[in-house]
Amino acid sequence: MEFLSGDAARERFPYVGPNVLAATFRVKDGWLSAHELTYGFAKGSSALFALRTEATGIELDAQGVCAVTTTRGRIATRCVVVAAGPFSGVVASWVGLELPLEVVRRQKAIVGSTPMVPRDAPMTVDSDTGVYWRPEVSGAALGWALPEEPSVPLEHVPTDWTFPAVVMDGAARLVPFWNEVAETLTRDNVFLSAGQYTCTPDHKPIIGPCSDVGGLYLNLGYSGHGIMASPGGARLLVDLISDPADDAENPFRLERLAAEDVGIRRERVVL
């Protein structure tokens, strides 16, 4: 990690504005494609993927989990992992478990071909506000975790077309060329998408077995860090399924959160 003065940052990256007083930079950092990561893990596994199949319930018996019901039939199993992203709280409720999760919208703007964005620019983050941008093909990707009220899980998350203007205005605070980009931008050169973060009270994931329901495991609540942490989280969960005794030293276990905050319902529900 390099620590740069404002002048050193402008010498290295001439587009940085006069408001920058200092910066950190790590040349080995980068970014990756979430889709390529997901499909790469899928391709490298021996798992069976049931496409166009919706899970509708989890069945319990005296031992705990015994089956998952789906739109294409019943799957008998003694091991179920809840890893449903924003819908994890919904799935957990099928067995009477209430989790301390909040679902919030996050948006991303992609700007198409934009010559003013340097192709070799690093991902740039304003440490005061959190607004960020990076090159994307011949344009750029921008994002900002603006305050949002918690919402219900949604299959299709609505976008707000004021977001591109707001995020470019925020990015221009430290990198002025975003003002020029905004002045010349047309609607057909902006692509907006939205998703949902699943957040826990301490912004750390919940990983491991559910002590109240035998055979039920949790891997959820990454609070916006899923692309970075989920491969390691999944490895941890596999190890805990193989050797449950290790859960006592697991810093991501559900029990770290106070029972009164988690709101666990102790009764079991047989669907």
Domains of the chain: 53-96+202-262 (3.50.50.60), 103-198 (3.30.9.10)
Q: What is the mean pLDDT of residues 43-63?
A: 95
pTM, rounded to two decimals: 0.86
Asked if 227 contacts 40 with a C-beta cutoff of 8 angstroms, the reply is no
Q: How do strand 206-209 and strand 216-220 relate by DSSP bridges?
A: antiparallel
190-229 per-position pLDDT tens digit = 999 999 999 999 999 999 999 999 999 999 999 999 888 9
Q: How do strand 216-220 and strand 80-82 relate by DSSP bridges?
A: parallel
In whole angstroms, what is the distance from residue 46 CA to residue 41 CA? 10
217-268 per-position pLDDT tens digit = 999 999 999 888 999 999 999 999 999 887 888 999 999 986 444 444 433 3
Q: Which residue has the tokens 């010559």?
A: 115
What the block records as the tokens of 143 is: 């994002």
140-187 per-position pLDDT tens digit = 999 999 999 999 999 999 999 999 999 999 999 999 999 999 998 899
Closest to 104 (Cα-Cα) out of 201, 167, 198, 194 = 198
In whole angstroms, what is the distance from residue 271 CA to residue 267 CA? 13
Q: Which residue has the tokens 């029990």?
A: 255
